[in-house]
Structure 1
Amino acid sequence: MYQVLVGVDDDVARARACAREVTNLPGGTDEKTVTLLHSFTEDPGDRSAADVESVNAAAESLDDHGVRYELLESGGDPAQSILDAAKEVGADLVVVAGRKRSPAGKAIFGSVSQSVILSSNRPVMVVGTETRE
């Protein structure tokens, strides 16, 4: 059995892509457990991760494939939240979605995926949203 942590942002297509790649990992559905993490960067008020459309899209995809999952939420810096959660749940693999940004965009806004890759002591899978041919 292995534990997979998936960092889910607000983009539905990226969330579905991450879930799709998790279901494509080797082994049967009974051999993996997934934690879907959404990090709120602003005060969510009464909302929880279960209220986020992208989280629901990823969860639905995992449900469709019979993969067990749990929801986790945090606040603050998304990259640090992913790293902290990976340690907390004992993740064997961290999955994040990448997105195209110009070099200037990366320098100005940073990159959650890049921060996780460079700071993690666990394997990190970066998923794209384009469909494979």
Structure 2
Amino acid sequence: MSLDTILLAVGPTDSDRIDELAQAVVDVAAPADATVVLAHVFTQDEYDEVCDRLDFDQARDDFDADDVANHHATIRELENVLNEHDVSYDIRGAVGDHGETIVGLAETTAADRVVVGGRKRSPAGKAVFGSTAQDILLSSPAPVTFVRND
């Protein structure tokens, strides 16, 4: 099985694990000469909030979720690391439920691997609050690498 495309999905809580996510992707993408798809998935409320912070007028300006993701600090930090290691990448943004949308992006980008971050949660915490990473692990069309923040 060749490794051509790696989907690195980040969200609003991943800013504290950028180094770990970047290292996990570079370790695999660089030797395989794979392209990394940097994806930021927003819920509708998160998307609206980021657009407001960026002074994007959704009724007037011509932009989409890819443009919003491209302006996000987390994506820019990851871009810097990938550029340092000469790893090619694309940027994708999407609006929707985090888990379902990431799985959809894995399908549409034909990802050979999906990389997601998360934090340790108790089984009761997962049952009560759900787990985006768990949803992705169970539904992804490609193998998933989970990067935990201690």
TM-score > 0.5, shorter chain as reference:
yes
Q: Alpha-carbon deviations, 1:4-57, whole Å to 9, x = none?
A: 00111122232332121111117536x110001101112333270122221111
Whichever residue aligns with residue 123 of structure 2, its letter is: P
Does residue 39 of structure 1 match 2:59?
no
Does residue 102 of structure 1 match 2:122?
yes
Change (3 A) 1:6 1:65: same
Cα distance in structure 2, aligned partners of 1:59 and 1:65: 10
Q: Which runs of 5+ in 1 are unaligned?
A: none
| RMSD across aligned positions (CA) | 1.9
Using the size of structure 2 for normalisation, the TM-score is 0.77
Whichever residue aligns with residue 25 of structure 1, its letter is: V
Using the size of structure 1 for normalisation, the TM-score is 0.86
SS at match of 1:28: helix
Change (3 A) 1:48 1:23: same
Does residue 49 of structure 1 match 2:51?
no
Q: Which runs of 5+ in 2 are unaligned?
A: 57-66
Aligned length: 129
Among all aligned residue pairs of Structure 1 and Structure 2, give the percentage whose two residues are the same amino acid. 36
Cα distance in structure 2, aligned partners of 1:52 and 1:27: 24
Whichever residue aligns with residue 58 of structure 1, its letter is: L
